Structure 1
């Protein structure tokens, strides 16, 4: 286990994306111009969403990443300071702009997203070396796949060498190496990513099988497969548990998975069992769908407990 004094509960290695969100009746067809019904700008990116989710869930949180020196980067820096998230390892890149995301949100909250990583693609293993003390002094490292994969692997290796609990949200999907389980304690895919990782369709009668397969092949401790409005399935130690969904009126699902991951990391750092943490995270994910945007939708601990 990690004997270093814990400066932070959760360290998030991840992306920054300024979301430019269009609301539309449906996705446009190739070559089609479609009139939208609304437009909003939000701060987002899987990494920063999860960091804010962890912080609002009560965790002392730090982030590793890279911003441009543009106005979007300034907005992120101000927000992180307001959320009391440590930014000592968030670099400002003068040669690349801050990442942008372009979600299209349909009635009912469904969304599809194009991302343009920009400065996020410049986060390198050298940045992980510089952040080794930060990682080793955290209880949990949470990573996703919006940054270069070699950088994510470097962070997982660093965390493993210091006994830090590691959580991988494999989004967006990439094929994972066979030895990834050596460095990942908990893997949290959604149902689409679970299908891509296993080749099995993630319908209700296969969800538990898929979760067990992922827990056995891609993680040291557990897999949690999130199923949207159908809840989640937790597989650990050869057993599976169904995490019941929370009934809400969804308006935008953009940040739901990130709320789940950040909240789960926060509760694991606080000492909860995996089942307790996943139950808490399920409520957080559901609440995130009740508001527009990503960062603005991340719920606070008192809201989650009330749910």
Structure 2
């Protein structure tokens, strides 16, 4: 069983389904509203647990009703919560998501996620010691992302940095990551490059190995030499929310099987995730992923 530590955000997703996206200043009628447990950290933790990993989450929720619901939901998914802090006088993080026309847009309010500190990361050192791989994203303060990268290096464990939402980071931080897992837009921002630059060129310039996600086209990965393509899997798309988080979780869970296999299984898991509504709602189990890959062998 792969042991994964996920450091990241925990949100309540407020999801509106609509026939189309409204224009600026326009009001339209939606079709459905629901609350869904989310946040990139929590999403990746749940996805990894469903794929059979032993998962510890490092993060924070508010001292509010959403916080209690989020903890209960993570516990049901067998995610270990001893390093999930409850922040007094703070709301839990929220993400307001509109789903329309097979796509989504998202506004995130960090709430308690802004209170994840380097000291909290250091307090999880024992979990890092026992992990096989660490996952971290960027919906927590940048100093806590740095602390995760540095602690991972000190204990000799690979850290996968999913740079979303993207911002330019110091090169010395990026060099601490075993893999970066951006899309093309995120990689350009991360490197301070032109968004129109060829993604092969961006991957070659990265100070750390890159696994680049390309939506329905699959992924490209590179450690040395030229980038290698892993084709995507054709499916009927219901909701793309959480596909990137599913990809990252699967990549971490199967990394011990080698980079090409991890990339293939991550693409397959992400494809399965978009066939159902909701970030965590669409995430596949290990059995579902195995059956999907067997049918396409």
TM-score range (shorter-chain normalised) is over 0.9
> What whole-Å deviation, never above 9, does each CA across 1:161-197 have from its counterpart, x for those lacking one?
0101100000001111021233100000023212333
Query: Per the alignment, do residues 95 and 16 of structure 1 end up closer, same or farther by CA in structure 2, a change over 3 Å counting?
Result: same
- The aligned residue for residue 219 of structure 2 is 232
- The aligned residue for residue 295 of structure 2 is none
8 Å Cα contact 1:190/1:227 also seen in 2: yes
Say whether residues 1:71 and 2:56 are aligned partners.
Answer: no
8 Å Cα contact 1:98/1:117 also seen in 2: yes
| Offset at residue 8 of structure 1 (A) | 6.6
Q: Distance in 2 between matches of 1:301 and 1:256?
A: 16
Q: Distance in 2 between matches of 1:77 and 1:101?
A: 17
**Structure 1 stretches of 4+ moved >4 Å:** 200-203
1:159 pairs with one of 145, 152, 156: 152
Q: Distance in 2 between matches of 1:201 and 1:137?
A: 38
| Offset at residue 134 of structure 1 (A) | 1.4
Say whether residues 1:207 and 2:194 are aligned partners.
Answer: no
Coordinate RMSD, CA, aligned: 1.6
Q: Distance in 2 between matches of 1:36 and 1:212?
A: 44
Say whether residues 1:174 and 2:167 are aligned partners.
Answer: yes
Q: Distance in 1 between matches of 2:125 and 2:196?
A: 37
TM-score by length of 1: 0.91
Q: Distance in 2 between matches of 1:145 and 1:60?
A: 22
> What whole-Å deviation, never above 9, does each CA across 1:30-79 have from its counterpart, x for those lacking one?
22212212211100000000011111111111000001122211112112
8 Å Cα contact 1:195/1:201 also seen in 2: yes
Q: What stretches of structure 2 of length at least 5 have no aligned partner?
A: 293-297
8 Å Cα contact 2:60/2:84 also seen in 1: yes
1:20 pairs with one of 14, 22, 37: 14
1:300 pairs with one of 275, 285, 289: 285
| Offset at residue 200 of structure 1 (A) | 4.2
Task: Number of aligned residue pairs: give it.
Answer: 291
Query: Per the alignment, do residues 8 and 247 of structure 1 end up closer, same or farther by CA in structure 2, a change over 3 Å counting?
Result: closer
Q: What pairs with 1:1-307 in structure 2 (closer than 5 Å)?
A: 9-108=3-102, 110-198=103-191, 199-201=193-195, 206-214=198-206, 217=207, 219=208, 222-268=209-255, 271-307=256-292
